[in-house]
Structure 1
Amino acid sequence: MPPGAVSQAATEESAALMRDWMLHHLHEDGRMSYLWLPSLDVEGDGNNMIRQWMATNALIEIAQREDDPELWARVAQNIDYNLEHFYRQEGELGIIQYASTVKLGAMSLAALAIINHPERARWQTQEHALRRTIASLWSESGEFTLYYRPRHKRDNAANFYPGETLLLWSQLYAETRDPELLRRYEASYRFYRTWHLDPANRRPAFVPWHSRASVAMWRVLGEEAPTPTDATGETGEGEGEAGEGQTPPPTPDAPEAGPAGGPEAEGKAERTPEGWPVGTAPESPSGLTRAELAEWVFTINDWLIDEMAVWDEALYDDEKGRFYTRKKNYGIPHASATGVFMEGLVDAYVLAGELGDQLHAERYRRTLARALRSVMQLQYVDEVDLYYVVDREAARGGLRTSIFHNDIRVDNVQHVLMGVLDLLEVFGPDDYSTQ
């Protein structure tokens, strides 16, 4: 594809192919393929719970747009499969475990998938237990313990898991307006803002998750509070049953009493799934403002573009539009990286537009159009791309990892598809120019 050939029609076609790849690799028992090797026409070894639950969230985005009951049922099968094979209950806590590892990010993304499915109540026990575990990994400084198991593991996961958790918490706060949840969100936002700005820690992987969480919270802080809930996502039976300042009634199927959550003995305060009393009022009101959240989103996305967005400096035309730098060791070029950066940039683009910040909006628009061109270059589409592939239906619509690495990992497709679906909703026909 010539660098200037990106269009709305081409983007729609690319999204449809990615959607078909995802559904082709969603098996009848609900399992999602993790890695497809086109050269061998077989699935590769390995698995990753974060990428599997991100794929579930991508399937949910597809189902939300198509509003197809059969597709929602298939997504429910995928949730059931993942929970059956990787969910464990440990007392009051719920975990997502693969091999011997339990990651904060995997639990957050699993909870996010559950709360976004129309049959959410079907998995209420698992949702509440996961939320208790996530809360147990939070400290008053705002820092999260990144692994439930092994507890003291240290790696670069601080760039990923806290942002994934804040995205979950922003959505939970939107439905509950729980002041204690907002206090904890704010503490973590401030902790990781300071952490990321330390040059020793600053990496691009941090940007998209915190962008999405910050834009979501920016939006919530500007909205009128919804009908009060019991901080579990359940509303009262009718209007007026839980007015402003009142404690909502308990849900009939709330989890049993325990040290980490659920209603306590009769006569004591009902607790949120996370474990604190419903309606807990922090000593100090939140100081989090929409203005600082917007400034933060622009700061980190401007830095990301300066560091990683490739166009004029590309050594080859095939590299144009991707996110990668040879100047620093941020990792290898990867379709999934370009995709997740697109997800955060779409939210930043929308934010800039709503604030009337045309300079930022145009910068993000152009970067997104160029990123579209990059991922289209990586997609298996036609006979030219598939000339050596025997099982073409298993590869068609998938994305190579890079221009020199032809494996299709599920998050190559999932991240790009989520970014492209969001982009199609906010771009007009004239917004696809790479110039």
Structure 2
Amino acid sequence: MSLPEEMARIRDLAEAWIIRNIGKKGLFTYSINPYTGEKSEKNNELRQLMSSRTLAEMSVGNLSLRPVHRRNLSFIMNTWYREERGIGYIEYDGKSKLGANAMLLRTFAASPHFGQFQSKARAAAEGILALQNADGSFRPWLKEPNYSFDAKYLLTFYSGEALVALLEYYFRTGLTRYFDEASRSAEFYLDEYVRNIADNYYPAYVPWHTIAYRHLYELTKADKFAEAVFTLNDKLLELQDRSYRIGRFFNPATPQYGLPHASSDGVYTEGLAYAFEMAQRTGDEVRAGRYLDAIMLSLKNIASLQYREKLDESSLPFYAYRGAIRTNAEKNRWARIDNAQHTIDAIQALGNFLGSKQASTFELRL
């Protein structure tokens, strides 16, 4: 079905900016300040690869994007990809993180050129399993950094990303080994993150584990996965601002969960889209309405952060930032690549799950 007009506008502007944001070498500009024209000297391979996966998915239905996708994928393979003894992985700055390797596998699985990369995708899947412990938990690094790190914190991001990657690879190939191993890891994290949520809660794991459990519910119809999705997302809604910057995911009562950030808003919204679909699938109309309302508020906030008008203060041409999404409404004017990428993925997911009557209502309320 067609998306509601305002939702499609947010997505289309963000997609156009992402495509314009790819340099000649095939790498996305990581972050830009439209007011000053500065480009960040920082980079993050995991966020780059999340955007690579989004571009791969966009190019499935848009043939004109395939050369851009191939250029981006060529950069990744020629610059960051390594393979040793059947293990494929991303190496960046001497390190190899589980999350980046998961996003590499997701990019392969989403690509219209998957057939050309089947052996590399299999190696990347094996690279993820190389970081799986006997109890199903993961380790965060294939090649560790030379500084101390908080593995538990890193895995609030990486563990769900790895689960989603393995399941998407299973959907693409039908290779049951990867479904079985993802299921084994899911059992560990159901205990860690859902049954023991009071002790271990951190909102970053909610969207990735939501997507993974939704996939596992689709494959198994096991009630425990639906219940996990609801437990996680009911808790997440406590974070959404309903009084000041309405719709953003930030609660000043819990500053330990991070500062306001459009990237977080986008990925939480994507997770809520899957939770909404789960509520619909199981006939839970109350939760479906609650999740859809939260999504509506979030997208309204994200739309307010999107650069849609030419800035008189900026010396940059309008196309350089049109459609980009600033990090927050306070002091951070920078537009980072994953701010746009997560928003695109959220809207795409929601569009897949909305019925025509709901879409019409959503458009009027937004």
- TM-score computed with the length of structure 2 as normaliser: 0.91
Match of 2:329 among 393, 399, 403: 403
- State the AA in 1 paired with 2:228: W
How far did 1:153 drift?
A: 4.3
Mapping of 1:5-154 within 5 angstroms?
A: 8-64=4-60, 67-150=61-144, 153-154=149-150
Could you say which residue in structure 1 is the equivalent of 2:207? 208
Once residues 110 and 411 of structure 1 are traced to their aligned partners in structure 2, the CA distance between those partners, rounded to angstroms, is 15
Q: What SS does the corresponding residue of 2:91 show, helix, strand or coil? A: strand
Kindly indicate whether residue 232 of structure 2 is the aligned counterpart of residue 293 of structure 1.
no
Q: Contact between 1:61 and 1:418, CA under 8 Å: does it hold in 2?
A: no
- More divergent stretch after superposition (33-42 vs 353-362): 33-42
Q: SS state of the match for residue 43, structure 1? A: coil
Decide whether aligned partners of structure 1 residues 135 and 354 sit closer, same or farther in structure 2, where only a CA change above 3 A counts.
Answer: same
Alignment-derived partner of residue 161 in structure 1: 158
Q: Using a 3 Å threshold, how does the CA distance of structure 1 residues 83 and 394 change in structure 2: closer, same or farther?
A: same
Q: State the aligned residue count.
A: 352
The Cα of 1:344 is off from its aligned counterpart by: 0.7
Superposition pairs of residues 231-246 of structure 1, within 5 angstroms = none
1:413 paired with 2:340, answer yes
Aligned to 1:370: 297
Task: Please state which structure has a larger fraction of its residues in helix.
Answer: 2
> Which piece of structure 1 moves more, 412-421 or 196-205?
196-205
What is the CA–CA distance in structure 2 between the aligned matches of 1:57 and 1:413, rounded to whole Å? 13
Are the aligned partners of 2:105 and 2:169 in contact in 1 as well (CA < 8 Å)? Answer: no
2:240 is matched with 309
74-83 or 120-129, which moves further after superposition?
120-129
Distance 2:118 2:57 in 1: 20
Which residue is 1:389 aligned to? 314
CA pair 406-146 structure 1, distance change in 2 beyond 3 A = same
Give CA deviations for 1:168-218 in whole Å, capped at 9, x if unaligned: 122233345544433322221121122222534211001000011111222
Residue type of the alignment partner of 2:64 = E
Alpha-carbon deviation of 1:309? 1.1
Q: Any unmatched runs of 5+ in structure 1?
A: 1-6, 222-288
Secondary structure (helix, strand or coil) at the match of 1:45 reads coil
| Contact 2:183 2:216 survives alignment (8 Å) | no
- Range with greater deviation from structure 2 (189-198 or 93-102): 189-198
Larger Rg: 1
Structure 1: distance between partners of 2:83 and 2:124: 9
Separation in 2 of the partners of 1:149 and 1:211? Answer: 28
Name the structure 2 match of 1:256. Answer: none
Q: AA paired with 1:166?
A: L
Q: Structure 1, residues 306-331: CA drift from partner, whole Å, max 9, x if none?
A: 2x1111x32xxxx1111011112101
Aligned to 1:430: 361
Deviation of the 1:37 alpha carbon: 1.8
- Residue 164 of structure 1 and its aligned partner are, at CA, apart by 0.7
- Amino acid of the structure 1 residue aligned with 2:65: L
Counterpart secondary structure, 1:418: helix
1:102 Cα deviation (Å)? 0.7
Give percent identity, aligned residues only: 27
1:271-350 correspondence runs (5 A):
289-306=221-238, 308-311=239-242, 313-314=243-244, 319-328=245-254, 329-350=256-277
- C-alpha distance in structure 2 between counterparts of 1:180 and 1:108, whole Å: 16
| Separation in 1, partners of 2:10, 2:197 | 38
Contact 1:34 1:44 survives alignment (8 Å): yes
Structure 2: give runs of 5+ residues left out of the alignment.
none
1:207-259 Cα deviation digits (max 9, x unpaired): 000011111222233xxxxxxxxxxxxxxxxxxxxxxxxxxxxxxxxxxxxxx
What is the rounded CA distance, in whole Å, between the counterparts of 1:214 and 1:393 in structure 2? Answer: 39
Secondary structure at the residue paired with 2:178? helix
Q: Which moved more, 1:77-86 or 1:143-152?
A: 143-152
How far does residue 154 in structure 1 lie from its aligned partner after superposition?
2.8
Amino acid at match of 2:30: Y
Describe the SS at the equivalent of 2:198.
coil
For 1:430, the aligned partner's letter is: T
What is the distance in 2 between the residues matched to 1:177 and 1:297? Answer: 24
Counterpart Cα distance in 1 of 2:297 and 2:363: 8
Confirm or deny: 8 A CA contact 1:63 1:71 kept in the other structure: yes
Residue 74 of structure 1 and its aligned partner are, at CA, apart by: 1.3
